[in-house]
Structure 1
Amino acid sequence: MLNGEEETKIITVKNGGKKGEWTQTEHCPQGTKARGFSLKVESQAFLSDDTALNGIILHCTRDGMDEDSVVSSGQGRWGANTGTNWCTDGYLVAFSLRVETSSYTFDETAANNIRFKCNNGKYLEGKGMSWGNYSQWSPECEEGICGIQTKIEKEQGMFGDDTALNDVRFYCC
């Protein structure tokens, strides 16, 4: 208990990038939970700086409702939104993050993609990039995922190496 309120369970993985700062936490509206997600991804830039995963957007709904609310925490400035992946008749309960570990090269990317497990046993993979490796699965949120907080590296300037999204943690309902 914290100040008379039940403590919220937070799920994490161990392979998140080290750069950046934790941004604001965003929560699904009361009575909803994350049943889908989309990503903000910069595709391979070839001759310029790559950042890969720039944002994770949760799509929150109530049981049996089609309308959704979106929450995302902080995002990098590059890339475009992907289509939404949905847990059919279910909700998100765990995740695994694909991260390119620091290689001390001139073009690092940090987080590249994410996959989620649904409570009905279905697995969903984002439409991110394929650099790096996936982490072990996070612990599960029994009642679903209801919040997100991202770790974002600020823009490094014209000659800097940007990584954008480095890590994420999710809040259980």
Structure 2
Amino acid sequence: MSNYSIIQKDFYRESGKWLSKFEIWAKCINPNLHFIYIFRKTQKHMKKPVLGIFWRLVLRHYQIKYGYQIYPETEIGEGLYLGHWGSLVINPKAKIGKNCNIAQGVTIGQQNRGKYQGFPTIGDEVWIGTNAVIVGGVSVGNNILIAPNSYVNFDIPSNSVVVGNPGKIYPIKRATEGYINSKI
């Protein structure tokens, strides 16, 4: 698996199979996959003078078109899956692990004061539901399901489900089973 590109690994999450470069390009008709493709290309070329500027301009166009506010500086592991397109905000200093699902309306942002001042660090195999908000210098473990409309401004231990506003933690060993498919 290590010979596959990060784009191929992201697209594997959607289809459950390894795709050729042509098949990847053909799947870009899907706005979510199209944005991921542009995002990863921008990350790959952002330190190159001419290509970096070109891909940043292309990414900016699609940020506006699709409503995704994700910047190339954001560290997001392989196997990213965006469930639906529209209105998604991720702070460029946030860190997200591999095999994560992020639904529409999600905000992963900065907290400017208080105990958890800073930016979220999110582990592997995390499912984030529609309109969930994760803010502050919080640590979200691995194998976490954050239910739709949940508000998270606290640390979450691995193998948990978070529900509500304010969020409440329920320890569950198989929290993301059936929610995160085609893991890489």
Same fold per TM (> 0.5)?
Answer: no
User: Which structure dedicates a bigger proportion of its chain to strand?
Assistant: 1
Bigger RCO (CA 8 Å, 6+ sep) = 1
What TM-score comes out, normalization by structure 1 length? 0.22
What TM-score comes out, normalization by structure 2 length? 0.21
